[in-house]
Structure 1
Amino acid sequence: MHELLLFASVPASHHHDLLQQLAGFTAMQPRRRLERRLVFKAPSPRNRINPRLGGGGSQDLQQSAEVQRLSKMLANATYYTQLVGLVTEADFGTTSTDDYDVDSQLWRMEWRDIPDAGTRSAVTSRVMSTVALPPGDIVTPMRAWGYSYETEYVVEGDVFIYNDVVLFLHRVLNFPDEVSLPEPRRFLPPLQNLSPLDKSGAYILQASVTVQDGSNPDLVKEATQHLFNVREQLKTTVRLEQGDRLSLDTRVK
Structure 2
Amino acid sequence: MHQLALYGQIRKDDHHRMLQQLAGFTRMQPQDVREIQLVFKARQPPGLDLVQSIGASNLASQQQQDLQRVKHMLNAGLYYVHLVGEVLPEKKARPTENEDVTMTDANSSAEGKTSTVRWSLDFKDTPEPGKQPVSSRMVSRTPMEEGNLIQFLGNFGYEYVSRYVVIGSRFYEKDTTILVHKVLRLPEVGPGKAVSDNTFLSNIEALPELDRSGSYIVQASIDIVDGNNPELKDRATRQLLGIKEALKQAVDLTPGDRLALDTRLPATSRRT
Cα deviation digits, residues 97-142 of structure 1 (max 9, x gap): 58xx697743111101110002x43111111111112223211111
Could you tell me how far apart the structure 2 residues matched to 1:168 and 1:6 are? 11
Deviations 1:24-55 (A, max 9, x none): 000000000100111111011279xxxxxxxx
Q: Do residues 116 (structure 1) and 136 (structure 2) align?
A: no
The answer (yes or no) to whether the contact 2:42–2:79 under 8 Å persists in 1 is yes
Where does structure 2 lack aligned partners over 5 or more consecutive residues?
A: 48-73, 94-107, 267-272
Which of 138, 155, 158 is matched with 2:166 structurally?
155
Provide the TM-score with structure 2 as the length reference: 0.74
SS in 2 for 1:114: coil
Q: How does 1:232-247 map to 2 (within 5 A)?
A: 232-247=245-260
Q: TM-score, normalised on structure 1?
A: 0.80
Change in Cα spacing, 1:75 to 1:3, as seen in structure 2 (3 Å) is: farther
Distance change (3 Å), C-alpha of 1:103 and 1:29: closer
Gaps of 5+ in 1: 48-73
Q: Distance in 2 between matches of 1:153 and 1:13?
A: 23
SS at match of 2:191: coil
Deviation at 1:186, TM superposition (A): 2.6
How far, CA to CA, are the matches of 2:5 and 2:119 in structure 1?
23
DSSP-derived class of the 1:232 partner: helix
Greater C-alpha radius of gyration: 2
Q: How many residues end up aligned between the 2 structures?
A: 219
Matches within 5 A, 1:202-221: 202-221=215-234
Match of 1:198 in 2: 211
In the superposition, relative to structure 1, how do residues 36 and 233 fare at CA in structure 2: closer, same or farther (>3 Å)?
same
- Secondary structure of 1:223's aligned partner: helix
- For residues 46-57 of structure 1, the aligned pairs below 5 Å read none
